[in-house]
Structure formats: structure tokens, C-alpha cells
A = this chain, B = another copy of it.
Amino acid sequence: MYSQELLKPDGRPLTLYSRYPIAEGIQAPSPGNEPIRANPHLRWHPLRGEWIAYASHRQGRTFLPPPEYNPLAPLIDPHFPTELPQGQYDIAVFDNRFASMTRVAHDPPSSIVETLPANGACEVVVFTQDPESPLGSLELDHLDLLLQVWADRTRILGEHPQIQYVLPFENRGVEMGVTLLHPHGQIYAYPFVPPVPARMQERQQAYYQENQRSLLQDLIQKEIEDKQRIIYLDEQAIAFVPACARYPYEVWIATIEPVATFIDLTAKQRRGLAKALKTVTLKYDGLWKRPFPYLMAWFQAQTDGQPHPESHLHAEFYPPYRTSDKLKYLAGTELAAGMFANDALPEEKAKELQAVSIILEAGVRV
């Protein structure tokens, strides 16, 4: 992996990542030259026991710009300034202009509830220079690089003493509220372990203490034995519709053996995950022969510098559709009670995805 750190005219860092050496002297552009003045803060929700981020400068953020203006494409016409330079690189990472958390947040307003500066980071990860190449179309080497980039960001962000948790994710499709269609994901780095990973960690720690094994590892063994819901399987990695799917087309990707964070992956495990990731995203797009929207989130151990043998790096995909023309809306029971109601059996949805034939690499059809 090659990388190069640059600074944008508005003060934000930009890191280019590549499978090949990157030329020197690349200038980092930015849509504007004014320093970013975001100063988000957190407020404590006493009834739920969780933090909420307030970033009131976000309301004016870019919203489905015309095709001639793609801020995530390499800069061509200075009249349409973008976030990225030209040059040979595969993946780029920079701070979100419209961040819910920043490293320099300060002086939160006082309120009747507790407040804190929202000291974290919100990064954008542009997966490729090509606006028309979604994850599934990228070469395995390119996806392998993406897994290395996520490891690098986890390391760099996790070294900040104020950051406790690093979450790479991709919101894909207008159905997920995506404002820019160029293939990209995000990384949120939180100054606390957020509620969902905290809950998972609690469950995993309890299981590990009782069994000296990873909860997810044991679940994966049962999925392998049960065979019904597997979408991809090799010696290193697995993709499956979990028996307890909350979304109709939910899929998880994981290493077979537990790995705490992206940083701990072996080259073989990365290759397995890259294949699983390519298989899942190609099958999704193949299912209805159109781009398949989803939220993809990667869960890993918190970045407290402690060993986390209970933790097990994995991705969860939450697609918003329940059939090709019907969305699954989150409403009363999901949002208010927290109990998901799923209209479809995971076994049935797994069959649909299993039936989609894709080409993983030259000569390998899955």
C-alpha cells in the first residue's frame, strides 16, 4: 500500500492511497478556500442514556448536484472545484466538510442537559476515481486495498486519546439519503463507544467470559453447519444472511476466525473478506439488475489499546427494500420499541441471493 498525505486549501487533511507509487507534487483542491468553521456539540439524552450530536451547519450540505458537478471526482474544470486532485491513486480519504464531529470542537453551549464538544472525526472515503464503479465492480486487489485503508484509518484515528470507536460504513442509494452518487463511504470516529457497538461488546464479553470463545465465531460455525443461508464461504471468510436477520436482505460478512480490528487482519483474511465483499455486492446488484441500496457497517473492537479477544470484526448490510418494489419502513415497533418485525424468513431471502450468479474473478463463477 502506498499513501500520501496532503493538506487542502481550507485546512482539511487529504490522504491518497494506492496499489502503486503515487507521484510527488500533487496539489489537494477543495470546493472552497474558507476554513471550515464547524463546531458541533453533544447533548446527553437522560431517558435513553446516550449522546446526540448537533451540527446545525449541516443543513446547507450538498444535495444531488447536477451531473456536471461531482465534488468527489478528480478536479478537471477549476470552475467546478472538487475534493480530489488528478493523479494515479485508487482511494482517497478526507475530512467531511459537513461533520457531526470534529477533532477541534470546543465550548459547547450550556443546556438543561449535559453537553460536550463533539470531539471525533467524520471522514469521507472515496472508493475509486470512477463515478460509475460501485464496490462490486472493483478488482479484488482494489477491495484488498480498501480493507488496508480502513485498517490505516482505524490506527490513525484510534491513536487520538479522545477517540474510542472507529466505524467505517457506506450509505448507498438515494433510498438511504445519499446526496452524492459517486462510490464512497464514510468513517465516523466517536469519543465514546456508541450504543449499538457498546451493546454488542457487552454481549460478546459476557459470552467470552463464559465460553472463552467468540460469540460470532460460534454463530458462524452454526451457520456453516446449517448451510441454508450462506452466500459466500472460503477458508478465511464467510458471507451469510444471519438466522436472526432484522432486514429482509440483511447479510453479514466476517472472518471465520475472530479478529479484533482491521489492523489485525492477515493478508489471507483480507483476501477472503475482499472476495466475500465482492460476491455480496455483485449479488445484490444482480438480484434486480439495478444498483441495490444498503447501509454497510463494519464493527470492530473499540480503540482503547486493550486486547479484545471477544471482539470479531464483521460487516452488516442493512438494505432498505423488502421486495423489488417495496421499501421496509422503520416505524412504530422498530423505532419506538426497538423490536424489528421482518416480513421475510432469512432462509427465503438467502435462497434469492444464492440464485444470483456472479463472476468473482476471471474464470470463477459463484
* A contact set with B: CB distance below 8 Å: 43-56, 58-59, 63, 100, 111-113, 165, 167, 169-171, 176-178, 186, 188, 190, 194-200, 202-204, 207, 215-216, 219, 222-223, 225-226, 243-246, 295, 297, 299, 316, 318, 322-323, 326-333, 335-345, 348
Contact = CB atoms under 8 A, between A and B. Distances in A.
B194 A112 contact: no
Contacts of A335: 295, 297, 318
B188 A43 contact: no
B49 A195 contact: no
A274 to B, nearest CB: 21
Contacts of A340: 52-53
B343 A59 contact: yes
Given A167-B337, A169-B336, A216 B47 contact: yes
- Among A52, A55, A327, A345, chain B packs the most CB atoms within 10 A around the CB of A52
A286 to B, nearest CB: 22
Given A45-B246, A222-B112, A338 B176 contact: no
8 contacts: A47-B219, A52-B339, A55-B343, A59-B343, A112-B225, A188-B337, A297-B335, A330-B330
B215 A46 contact: yes
Given A52-B245, A112-B222, A112-B243, 11 more contacts: A43-B243, A47-B204, A52-B244, A55-B342, A59-B343, A59-B344, A113-B219, A171-B329, A177-B329, A295-B336, A318-B335
Contacts of A100: 333, 341
Contact of A52 (B44, B52, B342): B342
A339 B171 contact: no
Contact of A345 (B54, B216, B219, B339): B54
A345 B55 CA distance: 8
A344 B56 contact: yes
Contact of A332 (B113, B169, B195, B332): B169
A53 B341 contact: yes
- Among A178, A199, A316, chain B packs the most CB atoms within 10 A around the CB of A199
Closest 9 CB pairs of A and B: A177-B329, A297-B336, A195-B338, A194-B337, A100-B341, A196-B338, A169-B332, A112-B222, A45-B244
A46 B112 contact: no
A196 B50 contact: no
B53 A243 contact: no
A176 B219 contact: no
Nearest to A171: B331
- Among A169, A246, A331, A348, chain B packs the most CB atoms within 10 A around the CB of A331
A44 B295 contact: no
Nearest to A246: B52
A365 B101 CA distance: 41
Given A52-B340, A343-B55, A332 B216 contact: no
B332 A199 contact: no
